[in-house]
Amino acid sequence: MALLMFCDDALGVNAGLVYYDSPEEPVSIQFYNKLSEEEKKTYYNIWSLSNRMWQDQIWGSDITSYAWSPDGTRLFIATSEIYGSGALYELDLIRKKYKQVAPADRVTKLNNSGPGYIITTIDKNKSKLIYVLDPQSDEPLEGLPKLFYKLE
């Protein structure tokens, strides 16, 4: 997978994913074996020679930061509330699905955004994604309270 980022000047940074390897084997056998039998039947319709790009306005608009999971099967994307949804997302790259991680109390939309987040790191030893609220100022990130998401 490759994350393509597009700097749209005042409109922020937007992104999309591209599967650039051979579509004959878009995922290693160890990950393919984790799929349910139903998912295996339709897997090659998800990523194929003519379906290599994945972009969604809800997670691909006004990105502030991103982080790959340690095993490479997920991508975490944080967005700003200005031109994005102001949420944090987990993208399942095998299944081509996403879920909102934060804010946890409501589903965000582009016209009803969350507060915005910035991913600071992934702690591989503790299996945690560490992020902070987007300060929207010159405030240093080190002084902000850290938020955590447990990696499964």
Structure-block tokens of residue 95: 């299944």
Instruction: State the sign of the Cα–Cα–Cα–Cα dihedral 21, 22, 24, 30.
Output: negative
pLDDT at 71: 85
Q: How far apart are CA 151 and CA 139, in angstroms?
A: 28
> What token pair was written down for 137?
């100022």
Print the domain residue range for 137. Answer: 2-150
Q: For the chain, how many structural domains are there in total?
A: 1
110 neighbors 134 (Cβ within 8 angstroms): no
Q: What angle do CA 77, 80, 85 make, to 5 degrees?
A: 80
pLDDT of residue 129: 96
Total residues found in the chain within this entry: 152
pLDDT at 28: 62
What's the whole-model pTM score? 0.87
Whether the bond into 103 is cis, omega within 30 of 0: yes
CB half-sphere exposure, 28, CA atoms < 13 A: 6
* 115: nearest Cα among 135, 129, 143: 135
Q: Mind listing the pLDDT tens digit for each residue in 59-107?
A: 999 999 999 999 888 999 999 999 999 999 999 988 899 999 999 999 9
